[in-house]
Structure 1
Amino acid sequence: MAERIDVAALLANARTGARDSHFAHMNPAFAKLVELIGFDRTYVRGEGQYLWDAQGRRVLDCLAGYGALALGRAHPVVTDALVQCLTLAPPAWVRWELNPLAAEAARRLTLQCGGVADRVFFTNSGTEAIEAAMKFARQHTGRPGLLAWSDSFHGLTYGALSINGNEDLRRGFGPLLPGAAIVEFGDLAALERALSGRDVAALVVEPVQGKTLRTLAPGVLQEVHALCKRYGTLVIADEIQTGCGRTGAFLAVHHDGVEPDMVVLAKALSGGFVPVGAVLVRSDIWDSTYSSMDRSVVHSSTFHEGPLAMVALLATLEVMEQDHLAARAADLGESLIRQLRAECADIACVREIRGKGFMVGVDLDTSRIPSFAKIPMLGRITEPMIGQAGIMQLLDGHSILAQTTGARRPLLKFVPPLIVNEGDVQAIVTATAASCRALASGRFYGAMGAVASNMLRTGLGLSRV
Structure 2
Amino acid sequence: AQELCRRYGTYFALDEVQTGFGRTGRMFALEHWGLEPDIVTVSKSLSGGYVPVGACLMSKAVYDNVFDSLEHAISHGSTFAPNDLGMAAGLATLHELDEQGLVERSARLGELLLERTLPLLERYDVVRDVRGLGLMWAIEFQEPDGGSRTWRLLERKQPGIFSQLIAVPLFSDHAILIQTAGHNMNVLKGIPSLTVSEADIEYFASALEQTLQRAQRIPAAMMRFALKAARAGRRKTPAAAR
TM-score computed with the length of structure 2 as normaliser: 0.90
Query: For residue 445 of structure 1, what is the aligned residue in structure 2?
Result: 223
Shift of the alpha carbon at 1:448? 1.8
How big is each residue's C-alpha offset from its partner over 1:284-341, in whole Å with a ceiling of 9 and x where there is no partner?
2222222212322111011112111111000100000010101000000111012100
The match for 2:152 among 368, 371, 374 is 374
The answer to which of 337-346 and 413-422 deviates more is 337-346
Deviations 1:354-413 (A, max 9, x none): 1211110010114569685533xx644432332122111101221111111235521111
Partner of residue 172 from structure 2, selected from 396, 400, 422: 396
The aligned runs of 1:33-72 (5 Å cut-off) are none
Match of 1:334 in 2: 111
Q: Mind listing any 5+ residue stretches in structure 2 that lack a counterpart?
A: none
Task: Please report the RMSD computed on the Cα atoms of aligned residues, expressed in angstroms.
Answer: 2.1
**In structure 2, which of residues 35, 59, 69 is the aligned counterpart of residue 282 of structure 1?**
59
User: What is the alpha-carbon distance in structure 1 between the residues aligned to residue 177 and residue 164 of structure 2?
Assistant: 12
1:233 maps to amino acid: T
Mark the CA change 1:371 to 1:328 in structure 2 (over 3 Å): closer, same or farther: farther
* Secondary structure at 2:74 match in 1: coil
Aligned counterpart in structure 2 of residue 292 of structure 1, from 56, 69, 72: 69
Alpha-carbon separation, structure 2, partners of 1:461 and 1:413: 37
Which of 218, 234, 237 is the aligned partner of 1:459?
A: 237
1:252 to 26, 29, 32: 29
* Closer/same/farther in 2, CA of residues 300 and 287 from structure 1, 3 Å limit: same
Matches within 5 A, 1:157-172: none
Question: How far apart, in 2, do the equivalents of 1:281 and 1:440 lie?
Answer: 48
Residue correspondence of structure 1 range 89-238 to structure 2 within 5 A: 224-238=1-15
Q: Residue deviations 1:252-306, cap 9 Å, x none?
A: 1101111111111101001111111111111222222222123221110111121
Percent sequence identity over aligned pairs: 33
When the two structures are aligned, how many residues end up with a matched partner? 237
- Determine the C-alpha separation between the residues in 2 that align with 1:400 and 1:290: 46
Instruction: For CA contacts below 8 A with separation 6 or more, give which structure has more relative contact order.
Output: 1
Q: Does residue 317 of structure 1 match 2:97?
A: no
- 1:304 has 2:81 as partner: yes
Kindly provide the amino acid, as one letter, of the partner of residue 374 in structure 1. Answer: R
Gapped regions of structure 1 (runs ≥ 5): 1-223
Residues 231-264 of structure 1: CA deviation (Å, up to 9, x unaligned):
2222211000000001001011101111111111
Quick one: which amino acid aligns to residue 211 of structure 2? Answer: S
Asked if the contact 1:364–1:410 (Cα under 8 Å) also holds between the matched residues in 2, the reply is: yes
Alpha carbons of structure 1 residues 361 and 371: separation in structure 2 relative to 1, 3 Å: farther
- The SS at the match of 1:227 is helix
State the alpha-carbon separation in 2 of the partners of residues 315 and 342 from structure 1. Answer: 38
Superimposed CA distance per residue, residues 425-459 of structure 1 (whole angstroms, 9 cap, x where no aligned partner): 10111111221222112223321222233333333
